[in-house]
Chains A and B, each alone.
Chain A
Amino acid sequence: METVVIVTWIGMLIAALMNPTPTTTVVLVENGKAQNAIVVETKAGSIVVDKPGGYVNINSKNEKPSEINIMSEEKINSKFKSAIESTPLKPIHVLLYFKSGSNELTQSSKDKLPQILKSIKERMPCDVNVIGHTDTAGSKKYNEKLSLQRANSVKKWINLQNIDLIDLKVETYGETDLLVKTADNVSEKKNRRVELLIR
């Protein structure tokens, strides 16, 4: 099983005026994922914080980080308010699937388009990567061309929406980056796809 480790944390308040050596506070924040931990380290030692709301202070390079204490959600939100306010929406990653040997989307992927458009608009000014893939049915050369046609058909759809993107990049992998590993010349619907990375 793939181990997913995504760590969120919000940190750093330096009260230089109150203390001749700056004090740093690091707080671990809930990220909605199973794995969430940070290691706070100085020359004198390190400490693992793995409970959201847990925080440590560090007072100097030569001292260990403090014991872990818990900060209330209310306190976190007021202390780090100005950093929280400018946090951008998370980028999203979507897969669109295609009919065999074609650059036409499957019906269920067509149905996803309005939601994708909404996600792009929420993230304006937005930056989109369109990455085309195929399964291994047919020659390598044929699939290179087909993956480009698929990516271009998604690009064309985006261009028709009249949205002003910062950047729209097209990449193609042909049959070289399979989602489901198969032998050569195997038709596999999960490999006939375009990835969209919306930032």
Chain B
Amino acid sequence: MLRIFFILFCLLSYLFSADIAIVKVVNGDTFAKRDSTMLKLKVGNQLQVGDTLITKAGSNIGIIFHDGTILSLGENSILTIDEFLFKPIENEFKFDIDMSKGLASFESGKIGTLSPESVKFKVPEGTVGIRGTKFYVEVK
């Protein structure tokens, strides 16, 4: 019985701690708040869903998500990765980012190509979405 619980636990922790992005550029003091710990980020670190990225004054960071999306944050910024799911074979996509402060550059990758309606970049006052040709015509 204990063994089954142990296997379940391992499976669950694998499912919930999957790496979704990699840190490619870091200057100065940048952190990821994960659960209740603050991790100082270095180039090569892996990021997970739920991580909040924080950059201090004079610091910045650049990351690449597993679908090829490129995100960079300038100084004094705070941004949380709320959702990221990239399963092209199963046609399952989710991408929610929540930015509460600072400067960001965002260039969408495969999720933006395959499922633009799944990409949501939230700001305090609203959201920014990306659209394919079809959706663009509808919006106009």
Which residues of A approach B to under 8 Å, CB–CB? Answer: 3-14, 16, 21-22, 24, 26, 29, 31, 35, 37-43, 46, 48, 50, 58-61, 63, 65, 79-91, 123, 125, 127, 166, 199
Contacts and interface: CB of A to CB of B under 8 A. Distances in A.
A22 B107 contact: no
A126 to B, nearest CB: 9
Contact of B104 (A12, A42, A50, A199): A12
A25 to B, nearest CB: 10
Given A58-B126, A86-B25, A48 B136 contact: yes
A82 B63 CA distance: 14
B62 A42 contact: no
Interface string B72-85: 11110100000000
Given A35-B132, A88-B25, A83 B72 contact: yes
A12 B130 contact: no
Contacts of A5: 112-113, 116, 130-133
Contacts of B113: 4-6
By secondary structure, the B interface counts as strand
26 contacts: A5-B131, A5-B132, A5-B133, A7-B112, A9-B107, A11-B104, A11-B128, A12-B104, A24-B126, A38-B129, A39-B129, A40-B127, A41-B127, A42-B126, A61-B125, A63-B125, A83-B74, A83-B105, A84-B74, A84-B105, A85-B72, A86-B72, A87-B62, A88-B25, A199-B24, A199-B68
A86 B108 CA distance: 16
Nearest to B102: A12
Interface of B: 22, 24-27, 43-44, 60-64, 68, 70, 72-75, 77, 99, 101-109, 112-113, 116, 121, 123-134, 136, 139-140
A107 B126 CA distance: 53
A85 B26 CA distance: 10
B105 A14 contact: no
B125 A42 contact: yes
Contacts of B106: 8-11
